[in-house]
Amino acid sequence: MGWRLVAAIALCVSALIYFDDSPRLEPARRVAVDGSSWLLSLAAGPGQILGAVGDYFRSRDSLREDNERLVQENLVLQARTQRLASVLSENARYRALLNSAELVQDDIMVAEVVSVVADPAHHLLVLDKGARDGVYAGQPMLGAEGLLGQITMVGEHSSRAILISDASHAVPVQVMRNGVRALAEGTGSIGELLIRHLAATTDIEVGDVLVTSGLGGRFPPNYPVAKVVDINLRPEAAFASVRAKPLASLDRGRHVLLAVAHTESAAP
Amino acid sequence: MTVAHARWVISASLMLALIIYTVPMPRAFAWFRPELPVVVLMYWVLALPHTAGVITATLVGICMAILQGNTPGALSLGLVVSVLVLLFTYQRVRQFDIVQQSITITLLVGVSLIIERVLLLSAGGVVAEGYVFLAPLPLTLLCWYPVRAILRGLRRYYEVR
Per-residue pLDDT, A103: 46
pLDDT digits (tens, 9 = 90+) for B11-40: 999 999 999 998 888 878 888 999 999 999
Per-residue pLDDT, B46: 94
* pLDDT band per the 50, 70, 90 thresholds, residue B88: very high
Distance of CA B64 to CAs A219, B113, B134, Å?
A: 31, 12, 16
Chain B residue with minimum CA distance to A186: B126
For chain B, the domain total comes to 1
Residue A235 has pLDDT above 80, yes or no: no
d(CA A247, CA A228) in angstroms, rounded, equals: 10
Question: What is the overall mean pLDDT for chain B?
Answer: 90
Domain spans, chain A: 170-246
Per-residue pLDDT, A226: 93
Residue A101 has pLDDT above 60, yes or no: no
Helices (H), chain B: 3-21, 27-30, 36-47, 54-68, 74-95, 98-122, 137-157
Which domain CATH number covers B88? Answer: 1.10.1760
Higher pLDDT, A108 or B90: B90
- Beta pairing partners, A253: none
Per-residue pLDDT, B107: 96
Per-residue pLDDT, B5: 64
pLDDT digits (tens, 9 = 90+) for B47-69: 999 888 899 999 999 999 999 88
CB A150 within 8 A of CB A219: yes
**Choice among A90-104, A169-183, A207-221, B144-158 with the minimum mean pLDDT:** A90-104
Asked if A13 lies within 8 A of B127 by C-beta distance, the reply is no
Asked if B54 lies within 8 A of A1 by C-beta distance, the reply is yes
Tell me whether A42 touches chain B (CB under 8 Å). Answer: yes
From B61, B67, B128, residue closest to A118, measured CB to CB:
B67
> Would you say domain A170-246 falls under CATH 3.40.50.1000?
no
From B22, B62, B125, residue closest to A40, measured CB to CB:
B22
Residues of chain B in contact with residue A254, where contact means CB-CB under 8 angstroms, are: none
ipTM value, please give it.
0.87
Asked if B73 lies within 8 A of A36 by C-beta distance, the reply is no
Asked if A19 lies within 8 A of B71 by C-beta distance, the reply is yes
**Closest-CA distance of chain A to residue B117, Å:** 12
Per-residue pLDDT, A149: 93
Residue A105 has pLDDT above 60, yes or no: no
pTM of the model: 0.81
Backbone angles phi, psi at B160, to 5 degrees: -70, 125
Per-residue pLDDT, B2: 47
Residue B1 has pLDDT above 60, yes or no: no
Per-residue pLDDT, A81: 82
Closest-CA residue to A127 (of A94, A164, A157, A99): A157
d(CA B112, CA A71) in angstroms, rounded, equals: 55
Please tell me whether residue B26 adopts helix, strand or coil conformation.
coil
* pLDDT band per the 50, 70, 90 thresholds, residue A262: low
Per-residue pLDDT, B112: 96
d(CA B109, CA B115) in angstroms, rounded, equals: 10
Per-residue pLDDT, B6: 66
d(CA B100, CA B85) in angstroms, rounded, equals: 16
Residues of chain A in contact with residue B125, where contact means CB-CB under 8 angstroms, are: 168
Per-residue pLDDT, A221: 84
Per-residue pLDDT, B137: 95
Question: What is the overall mean pLDDT for chain A?
Answer: 84
* pLDDT band per the 50, 70, 90 thresholds, residue A161: very high
Residue A83 has pLDDT above 80, yes or no: no
d(CA A221, CA A231) in angstroms, rounded, equals: 24
Residues of chain A in contact with residue B27, where contact means CB-CB under 8 angstroms, are: 120, 190, 251
Asked if A121 lies within 8 A of B84 by C-beta distance, the reply is no
Per-residue pLDDT, B25: 82
- The residue range of the domain holding B95 is 3-157
Tell me whether A14 touches chain B (CB under 8 Å). Answer: yes
Q: What is the DSSP letter of B161?
A: -
Q: What is the DSSP letter of B71?
A: P
Asked if B54 lies within 8 A of A4 by C-beta distance, the reply is yes
